Amino acid sequence: MDRLDQLVAAVRKIAAERPDIKYNHSNCFYDDLKCTDGSVGCLLGQGLAAIGWILYDEGYRHEISISDLLVQAGYREADTRIRWCSRVQTRQDICSAWGKCIEYADEEIKI
């Protein structure tokens, strides 16, 4: 299982544990794997933190998409796991509950 598989598994686990969470904060960035705005943080950010995968430098905020971040980490943009993560993030960003984010992504992208 590579790190991207680990990320997908972590995101699924976190969403299953807290399916009703709706993330709607726009000022969160991660410092020492914790969201600086005091919120629970975004689902993908929580997944990255759960597996200890730090993909960004000190200047990172949220100006970059999860797909761009994963491509910069060496994965191919066409990888269905990246598309799945991007779909989860997109759904979260329109205030879907985490459980629904996973459902939508699973319906649209088979990984």
Rounded (10°) angle between helices 3-17 and 80-93: 30
Domain count within the chain: 1
Q: Which pLDDT does position 28 carry in this prediction?
A: 57
Distance CA 111, CA 41 (A): 25
pLDDT number for residue 99:
97
Tens of pLDDT along 45-98? 889 888 988 765 534 445 677 888 888 888 898 899 999 999 999 998 888 999
Residue 26: predicted pLDDT: 59
- Check residue 59 and give its pLDDT: 42
pLDDT in tens, 11-27: 999 999 999 988 876 55
**Residue 88, domain extent:** 3-108
Q: Are 7 and 51 in contact (CB under 8 A)?
A: yes
Greater confidence (111 vs 24) lies with 111
pLDDT of the residue at 55:
63
